[in-house]
Structure 1
Amino acid sequence: MRFVIVNGKKAKQYIIIVFAAFFAAALAFFGQEQLAVFSTKDGPRAIYRGEETGQRIALTFDISWGDHRALPILDTLKKEGIKNCTFFVSAAWAERHPEIVERIVKDGHELESLGYQFKDYTGFEDQQIRRDILTAQEKIKKVSGKTTSLLRPPNGSFDQRVLNVSEKLKHSIVHWSVDTKDWRNPGVNQIVKNATKKVKSGDILLLHASDSAKQTEQALPEIIGKLKSNGYSFVSVEEMIANTKAHSEEVR
């Protein structure tokens, strides 16, 4: 999975990706203690990290299919005493697995949206994006009682249109600043390294609890242990971004 910002023309896609990478690197270099976001000229934003103060980290898990990995991951988090991760779930998946959704909420984790169909929004018309976001919100609330306000677009792909539609529907787009690449199953040690080597306070870590992520459960105890030993505490994304000032760069 990779971070993609597109405007519908494939030739421009790679230019925007380079721009996004450059912007993220520039923020890291200057060490600005502000909420890091991408925004459009008129204000909608996509959040990919929080403030650098406070030694806080947000662990996030995406789930779009399967029922074999999520429960063992939840068991591991419970054993490690972690109660406030953020799970971004496909609503179509949530409909099929209400018992896992119930467990996520019962264990004290934050439940947010990956959309309904888990299809790239940048290939949708505005009305299709709107319908998918609202359908996902409705279905997730039906199985959990929770109303979503955060959205991670499928595969992390978004553009200015997606930002605009999401804002109108009162959903903030959440990306990530650290990609563990656990979905590639590169080995437990590599996942731990990806998650901890360059982590900073305010980072939002991307992990997965879909069945494709076969090594995440084994990597989690060491990830959590290393982050704790370095003085980090764990918060939900909502806690991470509450009462923060936004530093933004325009998405075209």
Structure 2
Amino acid sequence: MKKTWIHLFVFVIILAMTAETIQNPYTSMYLTSLKEEAIMVSGDSSLHNDIVEAKAKLDIKPINAVVDRVWKGIPGYNGVEVEVKASLEQMEGKKFDEEMLVKKEIEPEIQLEDLKPSPVYKGNPNKPMVALMINVAWGEEYLPDMLKHLKKGNVHATFFLDGSWAKKNPDLVRMINEEGHEIGNHAYSHPDLKQMNNASIHKELEDTNKVIEAAIDKKPTVFAPPSGSYAYNSVEVAHRLGMQTVLWSVDTVDWKKPSPHVITTRVLQKVHAGALVLMHPTEPTEQSLEAMIRGIKERGYHLGTVSQVLDSKRISMIP
């Protein structure tokens, strides 16, 4: 109560000041801030206190991206800050309502792109989102049904396309894109990049980008090394071409053609926040997809593209 009277007293003094004093721009700015605070506190100190208390409870600091010794690149995650003044204005004349708090996201000081180029195996562990990454160099006969399951589950995945496959199947490339899925680069001829020099790696990646761009007028921003085989020079080459190198943290091992139940169980036992789930267009994968999507959602995870998982935006900010 004492603080309220002090602010009111300051406010009265402000109003009594001469025009000459207020004409000073620095004085004017200071007086404006005092005036706003006096009005805010005198207007409804109880509501103001409730908002300040909620801010102390709900503010979350952003998390910087890091290069981990084991997991390599781990993206950052935005924080949240309650804006007191805007929240007070939003609730003017009303009782305190946490749903009406005005919040803004605070980006980390260090993002993944600020660090030395590194492969990523998973998203930030504080972000409850999972991406299905589908590597395609064969199995086109199963893709239409996989797309139907994804659409039914309202899920957008990331398809990493082999360049030579994409050249033979431009209609399927366009179909994947038109369904809203992300398309990534999987090199041109499924090579072992560890055995290749920079020039050869560059050609593999650039030729694939050209084929994909010719089909959908978009350049990939993510790259998955064939068979997960890479050396650091391939990460650098991909980076120079504007692509993040991506691996996985959950493997379906579907190329061994296990039963759909085995694939689903394997994924649901290992899925985690930020998981990148590797799969291919196989018959058991197609048959397991619906149950897999349902199980991931039941565990409280959102499903999105690889780029959405790696972005520092919070879930609420992702369309």
Same structural fold, with TM-score higher than 0.5 when normalized by the shorter chain: yes
Aligned to 1:74: 147
State whether structure 2 residue 240 is matched by structure 1 residue 171: no
For the 8 Å contact 2:129–2:304, the answer to whether it is kept is yes
Alpha-carbon distance in structure 2 between the residues aligned to 1:208 and 1:80: 18
**Closer, same or farther: CA 33–129 of 1 in aligned 2, 3 Å:** closer
Higher strand share: 1
Aligned to 2:83: none
C-alpha RMSD of matched pairs (Å):
2.2
For the 8 Å contact 1:86–1:110, the answer to whether it is kept is yes
Alpha-carbon distance in structure 2 between the residues aligned to 1:59 and 1:190: 17
Alpha-carbon distance in structure 2 between the residues aligned to 1:33 and 1:61: 21
**Closer, same or farther: CA 190–114 of 1 in aligned 2, 3 Å:** same
Aligned with residue 129 of structure 2, among 35, 45, 56: 56
For the 8 Å contact 2:75–2:311, the answer to whether it is kept is no
Which amino acid in 1 is paired with 2:184?
E
Aligned to 2:261: 189
Question: What is the CA distance between 1:67 and its match in structure 2?
Answer: 2.2
Structure 1 stretch 100-109 or stretch 165-174: which is displaced more? 165-174
Please list the CA deviations of residues 209-232 of structure 1 after superposition, one character each: whole Å capped at 9, or x if unmatched: 2xxx22011101111111111111
State whether structure 2 residue 308 is matched by structure 1 residue 239: yes
Aligned with residue 194 of structure 2, among 113, 122, 131: 122
Alpha-carbon distance in structure 1 between the residues aligned to 2:204 and 2:270: 35
SS across alignment from 2:119? strand
Question: What is the CA distance between 1:178 and its match in structure 2?
Answer: 0.3
Counting aligned pairs with the same residue, the percent is 27
Aligned to 2:16: none
Aligned with residue 228 of structure 1, among 297, 300, 303: 297
Note the 1:86-235 alignment, pairs <5 A: 86-209=158-281, 213-235=282-304
Query: Unaligned regions of 5+ residues in structure 1, if any?
Result: 1-21, 245-252
Q: How many residues align?
A: 209
Which amino acid in 1 is paired with 2:148?
D
Question: What is the CA distance between 1:34 and its match in structure 2?
Answer: 5.3
For the 8 Å contact 2:162–2:186, the answer to whether it is kept is yes
For the 8 Å contact 1:33–1:53, the answer to whether it is kept is no
Aligned to 1:6: none
Which amino acid in 2 is paired with 1:46?
P
For the 8 Å contact 2:133–2:159, the answer to whether it is kept is yes
Alpha-carbon distance in structure 1 between the residues aligned to 2:267 and 2:168: 30
Runs of 4+ in 1 over 6 A off after TM superposition: none
TM-score after normalising by structure 2: 0.62
For the 8 Å contact 1:34–1:52, the answer to whether it is kept is no
Aligned to 2:93: none
Alpha-carbon distance in structure 2 between the residues aligned to 1:33 and 1:193: 27
Note the 1:27-66 alignment, pairs <5 A: 43-66=116-139
Question: What is the CA distance between 1:92 and its match in structure 2?
Answer: 1.0
Query: Unaligned regions of 5+ residues in structure 2, if any?
Result: 1-68, 78-111, 314-319
